[in-house]
Amino acid sequence: EAGVAQSPRYKIIEKRQSVAFWCNPISGHATLYWYQQILGQGPKLLIQFQNNGVVDDSQLPKDRFSAERLKGVDSTLKIQPAKLEDSAVYLCASSPSSGRGKTQYFGPGTRLLVL
């Protein structure tokens, strides 16, 4: 079974530029998550989707971050405009459903460096 796919793996941009990340979850997984992991810290949830609907985006900086999950499968996370403090690893995860304690499986992440 293929795991969670993410692209690109690395991205370097200048501040105020825009960037987009792509995620393809494990086949059949209804729930998709985007996390931000700053160096030396644990991942922090940005947004959670159930199929193509948003379940929780309370920690998403909506003035600059946006995410969508069209057709309930792939998802994109966009930052516009980027700030220096957005330098982090962006992790995508998926789980079978929004049921009790479902295990989340993570992709390899996208390492973003904002100069």
Partner 1 sequence: AQKVTQAQTEISVVEKEDVTLDCVYETRDTTYYLFWYKQPPSGELVFLIRRNSFDEQNEISGRYSWNFQKSTSSFNFTITASQVVDSAVYFCALSEDSSGSARQLTFGSGTQLTVLP
23 scored as a contact of partner 1 (CB under 8 A): no
101 scored as a contact of partner 1 (CB under 8 A): yes
Pick one of 27, 41, 70, 71: the residue that binds partner 1 (CB under 8 A).
41
Give the span between the Cα atoms of 22 and 99, in whole angstroms. 25
33 scored as a contact of partner 1 (CB under 8 A): yes
Cis amide leading into 108 (omega within 30): no
- Cβ atoms of residues 110 and 12 within 8 Å: no
Pick one of 19, 104, 112, 114: the residue that binds partner 1 (CB under 8 A).
104
43 scored as a contact of partner 1 (CB under 8 A): yes
Give the span between the Cα atoms of 36 and 101, in whole angstroms. 21
- Cβ atoms of residues 98 and 5 within 8 Å: no
Show Cβ contacts of residue 78 under 8 Å, excluding neighbours closer than 6 positions.
18, 19, 20, 21, 65, 66, 67
Task: Candidates 13-21, 70-78, 79-87, 99-107: pick the segment binding partner 1 (CB under 8 A).
Answer: 99-107
75 scored as a contact of partner 1 (CB under 8 A): no
Per CB under 8 A, which of residues 78..97 are in contact with partner 1?
89, 91, 93, 95, 97
**Interacting residues with partner 1 (CB under 8 A):** 31, 33, 40-45, 48, 55-56, 89, 91, 93, 95, 97-109, 111
